[in-house]
């Protein structure tokens, strides 16, 4: 037998061993591994990504829908892209507490509104939410809970931005040494299905700040996209707008949303959002104090 025939025979033996998971004398073989383990294949869709949506008893009803396994995989990707800060990763609508000692009734009402919004929101037509409340009333928890629900259960693209961080990123894009442009920062903010803009008004207003807020809100308004906004500032007009206010009261009044973003944009928010007001004290501080008693 020549060398060529011997090599061919050896090759056949090796291939047979691969199939049967054997060990050829002088050649070390690993047990054959299937291309994809059967345990990894979804039992509903068998790896196709689609499952039956019609009546299984009817041979003519062949409707299909995306399988839950694909929605879960998409949800994990969208959650990563949503930029939810680690501090709020635990926040969900299911663990928003409205039943603690001294809880204001408005918290339960806000939770009811948020839950209904997450289930029925049309991101290309419905109004968003303007969630107003003092520090520690749970505004950000509600907002994050909503978008996590929209991502996981409905597969919608959502984006979270702290208002201050967004402005910093835009300003940083003006630096000639940075390879990011202003449009690079703003494009995802413009295009995402649902945007959370947290702590609106937290930056001292300037002409540039007002222009930037106007650009973001007007672009999303004109594109009919849903926006969820949280703020610590009362939804009241800017100073000087209410002529009936006495000078003494005007001197002692706190800053309002109108002061921080301008009356034009406050009016725009009323068109874009349903207002949800959270009443009550800072329960985070209250519970923190209680832990040290």
Other beta carbons within 10 angstroms of residue 191's beta carbon come to 14
- pLDDT per residue as tens, the chain (293 positions): 554 454 454 444 444 444 344 333 333 434 444 444 455 788 778 777 777 776 666 666 677 777 777 766 777 888 999 999 999 999 999 999 998 888 999 999 999 999 999 999 999 889 999 999 999 999 999 999 999 999 999 989 999 999 999 999 999 999 988 889 999 999 999 999 999 999 999 999 999 999 999 999 999 999 999 999 999 999 999 987 765 666 666 666 789 999 999 999 999 999 999 999 999 877 655 554 443 33
CA distances from 150 to 61, 78, 185, 193, 277 (A): 29, 10, 23, 10, 22
Provide DSSP, 119-176.
Answer: HH--TTTS-EEEEEE-TTSSHHHHHHHHHHHHHHHH---EEEEEHHHHHHHHHHTTST
Other beta carbons within 10 angstroms of residue 176's beta carbon come to 4
Q: What is the pTM of this model?
A: 0.74
Dist. CA 52–CA 40, nearest whole Å: 20
Dist. CA 228–CA 219, nearest whole Å: 14
Dist. CA 81–CA 157, nearest whole Å: 8
Report the candidate in 48, 39, 96 with the shortest Cα–Cα distance to residue 68.
48
- Under a CB-based contact definition with an 8 Å cutoff, are residues 194 and 273 in contact? no
Would you call 180 helix, strand, or coil by DSSP? coil
Burial category of 132 from C-beta neighbours within 10 Å (exposed 0-12, middle 13-18, buried 19 and up) = buried
- Report which secondary-structure segment, H or E, holds 273: strand 273-278
- The CATH architecture assigned to 81-290 reads 3-Layer(aba) Sandwich (3.40)
- Report which secondary-structure segment, H or E, holds 211: helix 207-222
Structure-token match 């948020």, residue found: 114
- Under a CB-based contact definition with an 8 Å cutoff, are residues 202 and 163 in contact? yes
Report the candidate in 230, 228, 86 with the shortest Cα–Cα distance to residue 147.
228
- Under a CB-based contact definition with an 8 Å cutoff, are residues 160 and 196 in contact? yes
Cα dihedral 183, 184, 186, 188 sign: positive
Report strand pairing: 128-133 vs 158-162. unpaired
């Amino acid at each position: 037998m020549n060398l060529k025939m011997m090599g061919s025979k050896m090759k056949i033996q090796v291939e047979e061993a691969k199939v049967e998971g054997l060990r050829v004398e002088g050649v070390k073989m690993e047990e054959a591994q299937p291309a994809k383990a059967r345990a990894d294949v979804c039992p509903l869709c068998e790896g196709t990504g689609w499952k039956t949506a019609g009546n299984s008893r009817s041979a003519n009803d062949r409707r299909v829908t995306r399988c839950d396994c694909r929605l879960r995989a998409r949800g994990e990707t969208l959650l990563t892209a949503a930029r939810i800060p680690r501090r709020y990763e635990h926040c969900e609508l299911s663990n928003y507490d409205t039943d603690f000692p001294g809880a204001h009734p408005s918290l339960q009402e806000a939770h009811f509104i948020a839950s209904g919004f997450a289930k029925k929101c049309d991101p290309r037509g419905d109004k968003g939410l303007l969630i107003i409340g003092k520090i520690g009333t749970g505004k950000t928890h509600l907002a994050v809970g909503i978008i996590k629900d929209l991502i996981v259960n409905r597969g919608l693209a959502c984006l979270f931005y702290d208002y201050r961080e967004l402005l910093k990123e835009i300003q940083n894009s003006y630096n000639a040494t940075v390879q990011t442009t202003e449009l690079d920062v703003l494009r995802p903010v413009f295009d995402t299905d649902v945007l959370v803009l947290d702590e609106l008004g937290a930056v001292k207003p300037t002409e540039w700040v007002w222009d930037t807020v106007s650009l973001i809100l007007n672009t999303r308004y004109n594109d009919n996209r849903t926006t969820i906004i949280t703020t610590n500032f009362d939804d009241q007009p800017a100073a000087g707008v209410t002529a009936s206010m006495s000078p003494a009261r005007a001197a002692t009044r706190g800053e309002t949303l109108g002061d921080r973003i301008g009356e034009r944009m406050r009016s725009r928010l009323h068109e874009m959002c349903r207002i949800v007001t959270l009443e009550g004290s800072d329960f985070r501080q209250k519970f923190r104090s209680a832990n040290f008693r």
